[in-house]
Structure 1
Amino acid sequence: MNSQNSNIYSVSSLNRAAKALLETGLGVVWLSGEISNLTIAVSGHWYFTLKDHSAAVRCAMFKGNNRRTGFTPIHGQQVLVRAKLSLYEARGDYQLIVESMQPEGDGLLKQQFEQLKCQLAAEGLFSEQYKKPLPEIIKRIGIITSSTGAALHDILSVLKRRDPRLQVVIYPSQVQGIGSGDSVASQILLANQRNECDLLIVGRGGGSLEDLWCFNEAAVAHAIFNSQLLVISAVGHEIDVTISDFVADVRAATPSAAAELVSQNKTFVSTQLDTLVNRLKGAMQQCLQRNQHQQALLNEKLLTQDPKHKLQQQTLVSDDLSLRLNHAMQGLITRKMQKEASLIAGLQQHSPEQSIKLAVQAQSQLKTRLKNAMQHKLKQCENDLNNQLHQLNTVSPLATLARGYAIVKDEQGRVTTNANNINTGDLVNVRLDKGEFKAQVMDKG
C-alpha cells in the first residue's frame, strides 16, 4: 500500500472533515420533533434526543441558549428547534447544536395554560374562600354554551328526565375559534345583569385542547370569578381540565354530570316536599308559640303599667323606705348614746377634779413638810447661832473689856499694845466695855 496516498485519513481527520462538511453544508435548519432522554448537566447544558415516528437524532443545547427559551422541556413534549448540524469528533456521533426552542402545537398551548394557571392562582381566583355553595332550592338554570352543540342537548335531556319542573334559560355563545372567549365572558356578564337564574352552567362537549381553549382564557376566568351567580364549569370529558374548572364555584366532569348535579329525581322531590311541609308545620307551630309567649309578655307588661299597680308598688316602696329610715335612725341614736356613754366614762376617767384633789392633798402634805422643815431649819440655825455667839463671846475682846480691860488706839486709830509706841502728851482713844473716851498721856511709868 502506498503510504503517501492522499486519500488515506486518520479517524480524527475523517471526523474533523465530516464535521466541517456538516456545519457548512446545510447551515442552520428548523426541525420539529418530540423530546426524549432529556439530561440537564451540572454545567446547565441540555442533552436530549429529538425523534419522530421512525428516526431520532442526538441534540445539545448549551446554557447560554437554553436560558432564553422561557421553559424547561419535558419528556414527550413536541417542540420546534433552530439548530446547526455538527459532529462529536470523539465518538463520531452526528448531532444537532440547538440555538433556540419553542413548544409546537399543543405543547405551546400547554405552556400558556400553565403560565395563566400560575398567574390566576397568584391573584387568588382559585381560592376556596370565594366559592359559593349550591343553593338548596333551584328553580331556574342558566346555560351558557353553543345553541347547536351536543352539550346543550345532553343537559336538556337529563333535566327533562330527572326534574322537568326546572326552568331553563339559554344564553347562546360561541365556544370554539377566534372570539369565543369574549363571547362566553359577555354571556356570563349578561346573565348576571338579567339576574333571572339561580345558577349558571358554563361549558361545552369534548374536543382537543385547542378546541377547548376559550375556557382557558383570562377573560372567561375573570368573568366567572366576578359572577354574582354561582357558576358550574362543565367543559369536555372527564379527563379534560380547563382554567374555568379551577375558577368556577363547582366543577362537573361533563355537561350531563352538571345537569344531574342541579336536578333531582321525582322520588327525591317528593321526599323533599314532605320535608318542607314538615318544616313549614314546625315553623308555624314555633311562630304560634312565639306569639302566645309574646302575648303573655304583653299582658304582664300591661299589668305592670297599670297606675293602680304602680301606686301599690310605690306604697310598698314607701313603707319599706320608712321602716328602713326608722331602723336607721334608731340605730344611729343607739350608736350616739353608746358613744356618749363611752365619752363620759372616758371623761370621768380623765377628769381633772380627781387630779386637782390629789394635787391639793400633795400640796398640803408638801406645805406641812415645808413648815416642819423650816421650823427644824430655824431651830437648827438658832442653835448654830447661839453656839457661834457663845464661841464668839468666848474669843471676843468685848468679853475681855467686861472684865475691866480697855483697848487703846493712837490718833491714827491703830491699836496700841506697847507703851513704848506712845509718848507723853499723845492723845489716845480708850475703849471700855461700855463706851469710850479720849485721854492724854501724862506720864509713862
Structure 2
Amino acid sequence: MPAASNPNIFTVSRLNSEVRLLLENEMGIVWLVGEISNFSAPISGHWYFTLKDARAQVKCAMFKGNNRRVTFKPQAGQQVLVKARLSLYEPRGDYQLIIDSMQPEGDGRLQQQFEELKMRLAGEGLFAQTNKRPLPEHPTRVGVITSQTGAALFDILDVLKRRDPSLPVVIYPTMVQGEGAAIRIAQAIGTANDRNECDVLIVGRGGGSLEDLWCFNEEIVARTIAASQIPIISAVGHEIDVTIADFVADMRAPTPSAAAELVSRDNSHKTQNVQVRVNKLFNASKLYFQQQRQTLIHLMHRLEKQHPSYQLERQSQQLDDLERRLQRAMQQYVLRQYDAVERKQYRLQQASPTRVIQQQTHQLTQSQQKLIEAMKRRMLLSRHKLALAAEKLDTVSPLATLKRGYSITQLESGEVITEQEQVQTGDVLITRVAKGKVTSIVQ
C-alpha cells in the first residue's frame, strides 16, 4: 500500500510535527535547574545554549522578547533556574526548551518553592476568606510569637505601651531565622493554643531577605497557623514582604508595629475596625487577583501556542540556523577556492619559462661538467693505451736491437741486406748503429 494513502505510515515531517504538539500540549510549563554551556547570542538577539547536569543535557532557546527581562548576563558554568515549555525544532528533530524566564539558581529556587506551596495551599482552601477567624473587638490579653531579642518585639511593646498600657502581653520567644526556625515557630503557636491564655496572637519578625524570612514560608508554619484556635495576625517583615504565613493568617499586618496597633484600643478604634475590614478586603482582593492572574497566565500560554508569534519564533530560530549553515558553507567555499588558487599558482610556477630556463641551464651545466669529466677520462685512457703501445713498440723496435750492439745494413735504395748475393762491388752501403750511421763502399 502506498505510504501517502496509509495514515499509519508517517513521514519524517509529520512525525516531528506530531511529537512537537505532544510535547507542547502534554507537558506544559516546566521549571528546570541546570548549568549553562555552549552559550550563543547571534545578531538576531535570540539566545541559544545548553542546560546540563552531571549526567544529561538539553538544548534551549530564549527569544529576545523574553531574554530582555533577564537582569544578569548568562555565562558558561552558571547555575540557573528557568521556566520553560517543551518543544521540538522540526527541521532538525531536536528536542529543546523554549525559555520564558531565567534567574540565578539560589533566589529562583526559593521563589519557585514559594509559588508552588502557595498554589498548593490555595488549592486546598487554606487561604479562603471563609476560614478566617475574626479578631476580638476588645482583646483582654495579647500573645506575641517572635525573637525575644529582635527589634520587632520592642516595636510591638512600644506601640502597645503607648496606645493601651493596661493590655497584658504574653511573649512566646522563638527562633525566627535559620535552620529549625519553622519548627520552633510552629511549636510556639501550639504552646499558645495549649495554654489558651490569649485572645489573639501576633506572629512575626522584622524585615530581611527572602532567605531570612523563609521560615514563614514553610508548610509546617502555614498548617499550624491554619489549625490554630486563636486568631493570628501575621506581621512578617516590611510592607513589601509577603510570606505564606500572611495568606494563611486571619489578618496580615504590614509591619509588627501595625499589628500592635490592630490589637490595641485608642480613641480611633472605630477607624481601626474600618482598617481591619479594609485589610481583609485587601487580602481577599489580592488573593483573588493572584488566582485570576494564574488563570490568565495559563490561558496566555494556551493562546501563545496558537499565536502567530510562536510561528515567527520558530522561523526566526530556523533563520538563525540557516545563517550559521550559510556562514560555514561560505567559509568552506572560500577555503576550497583558496586551495585551488594555490594549486594553480604552483602549476604556473612549475610551467614558467624562467623556471624552465633555470632547469635547462642547470641541466646544461651538469652536461658540460659530465662532458669535461668524460673527455678527461677518455684522454687519460688514451694516454694510458698510447703508453702501453709505445712500450710494446719499443720492445720490438729495431732501435732497441741496435742499442744492444747490433746494426742494420741497407742499400742506398733502403733495401735491407740479409744475403751476400744482394751486394755487388761498388755498391754503397749504409749501416745503421745505435747512434748514427756508417757509409761504406763494397770493394
Q: Which TM bucket (shorter chain)?
A: 0.3 to 0.5
- TM-score of the aligned structures, taking structure 1 as reference length: 0.42
Scaled by the length of structure 2, what TM-score is found?
Answer: 0.42
Q: Max radius of gyration: which structure? A: 1
